Amino acid sequence: MIKTQKGKTYHVKDLKLFKQGKYNVQLAEKNMLSLMHLRTRYVKERPFQNLRIGVNLCVTKETAVLVETLVAGGAKISLCSSNPMATQDDVAAYLASQDSIQVWAYKNESLDDFTKFLTKVSNFKPHIIIDDGGDLTAKIHHKFPTIAKSIIGGCEETTIGITRINNMSKQNILQFPVIAVNDTKTKKLVDNYYGTGQSTIDGIMRTTNTLFAGKVVVVSGYGPCGKGVSMISRGLGANVIVTEVNPFRALEAVYDGYRVMPISKAVLEGDIYITVTGNKNVIRFEHVKQMKRGSILANSGHYDYEIDVKNIYKNCKKIINIREYVEECWIDEKNYVYILSKGRVVNLSGAEGNPSEIMSTSFLGQCLACEYLLKMRGNLPKELIRFPEEMDKKIAQIQINSMNVEIDVLNEELDKESENIKK
């Protein structure tokens, strides 16, 4: 049984962990120079003065740097975790000890508490929400419609969240504009490709200590995350197979030098299976039955339904908890597979999520999106809003400046030619 500490403004595992959390947040700050640059401006300008911001993100040291940056800009924060297994308890304790921040999160939350914490943030009556997966947006619309009508706008940073919110928009039930932060070029390149690619493999390595070199790794989904996972796997010496439903993505994978085949064929060859699709039941019991003895199954998509773990558990002969986040599922008397993190995000449960430098770029997008919502208050339609291209360029510029990278500038003649082409 998990014992937690409760208060008027927090529900965390143990407030005594705050000192270690503080050290970890300070470590993250040293690697998040672009976001710290933005914080310097926020201290002077206070763009979020007297605003309440509801945040539903994985409670990591990087998220803590984002939250404190928003607080530096004058905001009051109510924070819950977007995934029951993704909280860093020391960081949650550190944030809970700070003024202007409510924290509702602990690692391995019960589903009841996960739902309760979304309600806590909803009752905060936020002016702006920052969402991850669309759960907070959905909760406020379904349970607190009056609060939804008073919200200035929101931001969403995941593919599955964008899909959910876009469906709400099409059904004309969305009560406020939502900025599609996930769809920025910088987010897809830095966070999805490099960040998720590295952190997913990190999560598998930490939980299993397996060697990738010489293994056959099956990657389901060849969007930006799948591309990153495939790239890192191949860099470690693995033979990568890609499964896809999109012909364009499949073509990309072929031209990138990977084998492409249906999952029904890939299950006969793979040693490690990684899902990054956003779709349901990509790997099912019918597939697991055909896998090699000791195959490893991991999901890095937001929700726990890409691998049909419920049905796999139901049909297994026995399940042995080998170590934290590793379950040995016996298909029959001779064959078993390993399921990591109960099919939830392995990069955040088994490891620490994306590197700090990566999240600095992503959270620049969240901050600038919040500023844009305030600037355009009352003038945006109640639908999914594309992130302005100029702001995307600004994120890239701030990031390369923090890396001490210099780039060229078009001379006057070429600059005029570019403008003529645009016209």
pTM (2 d.p.): 0.93
355, 202 in Cβ contact below 8 A? no
pLDDT at 291: 98
Q: Which residue has the tokens 């939980």?
A: 207
- Per-domain boundaries in the chain: 5-183+354-402, 192-344
Residue 304's pLDDT is 87
Rg (CA), the chain: 22
Summary mean pLDDT of the chain? 95
Beta-carbon neighbour count of residue 375 at 10 Å? 10
CATH topology of domain 5-183+354-402: Rossmann fold (3.40.50)
Residue 419, pLDDT score: 63
Tens-place pLDDT, residues 378-388: 999 999 999 99
The predicted model gives 155-170 an average pLDDT of 93
Q: Strands (DSSP E) along 293-383, which ranges? A: 295-299, 318-323, 326-330, 336-340
- Residues in a beta bridge with 323: 326
Give residue 409's pLDDT. 87
Give percent of the chain above pLDDT 90. Answer: 94
Residue 418 has pLDDT above 90, yes or no: no
Q: Is the pLDDT of residue 190 over 70?
A: yes
Which CATH code of 3.40.50.720, 3.90.1150.10, 3.30.950.10, 3.40.50.300 fits the domain covering 192-344?
Answer: 3.40.50.720
CB atoms within 10 A of CB 417: 12
> Which residues, in sequence order, are CB contacts of 5 under 8 Å at separation 6+?
11, 12, 13, 14, 15
| pLDDT(129) > 80 | yes
> Alpha helices of 283-355 — where are they, by DSSP H?
285-288, 309-315, 346-349
Per-residue pLDDT tens over the stretch 239-276 = 999 999 999 999 999 999 999 999 999 999 999 999 99
